[in-house]
Amino acid sequence: MYKIMFIDDDPLILRRLHQILDWPSMGFENPEDASDGNAALTQINLNPPDIIICDINMPNMDGLTLAEKIKEDFPHIEFVILTVNDSFGCAQQALNTGVDHYLLKPIDPEELAAVIIKIKKGLESSQREKIYLNSLKDKALLSEHMIREKFLNWLVSGRQPLSEEQIKERFSFYQIPVSGQEFQILSVHINSFTDKMRGAGSIEDLSDKAKSTIEDSLYDYQDWVVFSDSFYNLIIIFGLQNESPLSNPSIDLIGQMIRDNLLFQLNLSVTVFYSRKYQGARNLYRCYYDTKFLCQYTPSVINKGVLSFDEYIHSSLDSSFNFDTLRSDTLKYLRSGNSEELEKLLSSTLVHALEIGSIESFNMLRIDFILTGIMFLQENRIAMQDVFQKHFSPLAEVLEYNSADNCIVFLNRYFNRILHYIDANKISSQSKITEKCIELIIENISYQHMSVKWLASQLYINENYLSRLFKTETGISLNKYITKQRMKSAKHYLDRGYSNLQQVSSAVGFSDPFYFSKCFKKEYGIAPSKYLQNTQ
């Protein structure tokens, strides 16, 4: 039903307007009438009609003045003016003030009906157009949302080896408000879908409600984005700033807040798991795989409510497994192409995990083997779709196998496909390690704790072996290369006019400005203060 309002200071005219046509059968309802412009303006502001039929001559505010005021705030309202003056000047004035239709008194029922039918057709057409435009807008927003979610899932899966700059560009393009030097992921696992499905209607509905609650919970925070992964877990990416660690959010407290809010607002029991912090957005896939160790959690894990990766490893992984050593050994065999030793490692660890009854260790190991394979692909700049089928999801597939034998067969095929691709394309693993090492240095040049030991830990490689390999590949020692890159970066800052030497030294990874000056002078033969004076 459309709303039509009558405005006239003559009660007889108002009665005539109500009786002249069968308004309900024409699809109209009549809100309260008004006897002058001021009263009408108040009522219209509270309850705007679709059509107004108004007398031109009224006390306090005439019809033309009222039409002009209404059109400023409600341009969509159709305005029909009634007058006894049939002069051209009066009609022209009415049209200039925004009046849509002009009728003479006494009112002719057929003429009025024709005008109302014409207006109604326009209203219906506008409404259809509005519905259509809104549907297009909704579809566009839904499409944008789906594309962004698809990209985020693609990013954290590690399927494509993107550079830091490429990830920043994609974040900007998809309007993802996350930045930082370090990154961390918080994963929210709904403990029981089946118990909650009755009220939600579907997994997607329940996930959407939980996502909205999480977004409301994080309203006061910055540098985060939330999305749903293929396991219907809600994933939150946080960007963290190195230069102001005190302003970074406490992930543990945020996890507890989200857990409490979901329980209080949706009566939804969840387990929250968060990753370690990693330098650079390129390591977001490592953050994500940290959280995947909880995919097949046990009641003991659920009872903890909010759990960090390190806590989970300490409490759940059997002491006979050394997480870092296993990953280092796996990468060592992949880099050397030693499939036989790799198969022995798979068999001994997975079988042993089930023999001692450690389900958590078994889950963690098979997930980590997948992650290590992805790390190896990233290290060699190989996209997963170049080696496997386009939609191949190794994590989803390995979790389908609950026996050690089936997992070993799958993982052997997984690693052998990777090694076959490396061999067929004659990719040098040693040179790629050096390239990766150089990228880590450049991307983390401001990191004060960067050292040969730190780089080796990031690459899961022996410290001494990395030093020898780097010197062989580049002809320069790794420590010297790090210092040279720091000095090169410092010179770049000074050339661009940065005059605060303490800030420059900090930006290139020095905590001591005096030591920075000493290194700069040794590299370029001039103190940074003198160099700065010469460039100004």
The model's pLDDT over 224-241, given as tens digits with 9 standing for 90+, comes to 999 998 888 999 999 998
Distance CA 308, CA 94 (A): 72
Average pLDDT value over all residues in the chain:
86
Which helix or strand (DSSP H or E) is residue 272 part of? strand 270-274
Is the model's pLDDT at 294 over the cut of 90? no
Three-state SS at 56: coil
Nearest to 369 by CA among 423, 315, 333: 333
Q: Per-residue pLDDT for 293 more than 60?
A: yes
Q: Average pLDDT for residues 354-374, to the nearest whole number?
A: 87
Dihedral of alpha carbons 529, 530, 531, 536, sign:
positive
Instruction: Reply yes or no on whether the pLDDT at 57 is more than 50.
Output: yes
Phi/psi zone of residue 180: left (φ > 0), alpha (ψ -120 to 50 degrees), beta?
Answer: left
> Over 80: is that where the pLDDT of 332 sits?
yes
Task: Give the integer Cα–Cα distance in Å for 438 and 127.
Answer: 61
8 A C-beta contact, residue 81 and residue 56: yes
* Separation CA 204–CA 212 (nearest Å): 12
% of the chain beyond a pLDDT of 90: 42
Q: Answer for the pair 50, 77: CB distance below 8 angstroms, yes or no.
A: yes
The DSSP call for residue 281 is G
Q: Does residue 388 carry a pLDDT above 90? A: yes
Amino acid present at 466 = L
Q: How many whole angstroms separate alpha carbon 502 and alpha carbon 510?
A: 9
- Compute CA distances 95 → 98, 102, 129, whole Å: 5, 8, 25
Domains along the chain? 2-128 (3.40.50.2300), 158-284 (3.30.70.270), 317-423 (no CATH), 430-535 (1.10.10.60)
Question: Given this model, what pLDDT does residue 133 score?
Answer: 73
pLDDT in tens, 456-496: 988 989 999 999 999 999 999 999 999 999 999 999 999 88
* pLDDT, position 95: 64
Q: How confident is the model at residue 139 (pLDDT cuts 50, 70, 90)?
A: low
Is the model more confident about 142 or about 408? Answer: 408
Section 54-71 average pLDDT: 86
* Pairwise CA distance, residues 188 & 211, whole Å: 10
CA gap 513, 333 in Å, rounded: 43
Strand order in the sheet with 51-55: 28-29, 2-7, 51-55, 78-83, 101-104
Q: Is the confidence at residue 183, as pLDDT, over 90?
A: yes
**Rounded Cα gap, residues 175 and 217, in angstroms:** 20
Report the pLDDT value the prediction gives residue 198, as an integer from 0 to 100.
Answer: 47
> Per-residue pLDDT averaged across 152-172, rounded?
91
The reported pLDDT for the residue numbered 191 is 82
DSSP summary character for residue 21: S
Residue 212 has pLDDT above 90, yes or no: yes
| 498-529 pLDDT, tens digit each | 888 888 998 899 988 899 999 999 999 999 98
Q: Provide the pLDDT for residue 194.
A: 55
In angstroms, rounded to a whole number, what is the distance separating the alpha carbons of residues 285 and 159? 9
How far apart (Å, rounded) are the C-alpha atoms in residues 120 and 67?
19
In this prediction, residue 304 carries a pLDDT of: 76
* pLDDT given at position 422: 92
pLDDT band at 265 (very low <50, low <70, confident <90, very high): very high
Tell me the pairing of strands 51-55 and 28-29.
Answer: unpaired
Which of 130-139, 245-254, 255-264, 343-352 shows the lowest mean pLDDT across its residues?
130-139
pLDDT at 394: 92
Greater model confidence, 240 or 317: 240
* Whether the Cβ atoms of residue 423 and residue 382 lie closer than 8 Å to each other: no
